[in-house]
Amino acid sequence: MQIRVTVNGVEHVSDVEPRTLLVQYVREALGLTGTNVGCDTSSCGACSLHVDGEAAKSCTLLAVQADGAQVTTIEGLAGKDGSLHPMQKAFMENHGLQCGYCTPGMVMAATSLLKEIPNPTEEDVRIGLEGNLCRCTGYHNIVKAVLACAGK
């Protein structure tokens, strides 16, 4: 089936099998491998990206469900000149990553969270990131980074 998806500001028209997962589509068809697959069972959040501005788990979405949508992946957050998004900067400055595997998903979930709760408490951040697991258990610094990005 033909779909038309705008990914990181670029429109793509593609033929996909209906069973193609959105994460497969961005990684394999578009070569945007920043979005990781962790659990593949909608638990870990590593595959989080934005669909129409809201975080979603792309291992649990079909590409055809994103037909007509605006999708943003981690590659789309940084400026055209490579300058980091404030959330990426905050993760770097607060040591919010260790191995980095969960990081793209964490950053996408965190930017979506700040859109919904611009002025979060620490508890808001912890609860807001409950769909994202970090195997390196760097949660303290991840929460610190998100709070720093929110100006706290």
Residues that bind ligand FAD (CB under 6 A): 42-43, 60
Is 13 in a helix, a strand, or coil?
strand
Instruction: Output the smallest distance, CB 66 to another protein, in A.
Output: 10
Instruction: Output the smallest distance, CB 82 to another protein, in A.
Output: 28
Scanning 19-138, the segments in alpha helix (DSSP H) are: 22-24, 86-93, 103-116, 122-128
Instruction: Output the smallest distance, CB 49 to another protein, in A.
Output: 10
If contact means CB under 5 to 8 A according to the sort of partner, which of ligand FAD, another protein, ligand FES, none does residue 55 touch?
another protein
**Type and span of the H or E element at 5:** strand 2-7
Residue 47's CB: how many other CB atoms inside 10 A? 28
| Contact between 8 and 71 (Cβ < 8 Å) | yes
Q: How far is CA 10 from each of CA 86, 87, 127, 133, rounded to the nearest angstrom?
A: 22, 22, 33, 30
- Chain position whose Cβ is nearest to ligand FAD: 42
Q: With respect to ligand FES, which residue has the nearer C-beta, 5 or 145?
A: 145
Q: How far is CA 101 from each of CA 14, 37, 47, 65, 87, rounded to the nearest angstrom?
A: 28, 9, 10, 26, 16
65 binds ligand FES, rule: CB under 6 A: no
Instruction: Output the smallest distance, CB 131 to ligand FAD, in A.
Output: 7
If contact means CB under 5 to 8 A according to the sort of partner, which of another protein, ligand FES, ligand FAD, none does residue 122 touch?
none
Q: With respect to ligand FES, which residue has the nearer C-beta, 4 or 95?
A: 95
Residues forming contacts to ligand FES in the complex (CB under 6 A) are 37-40, 42-47, 57, 59, 97-103, 134-136, 138
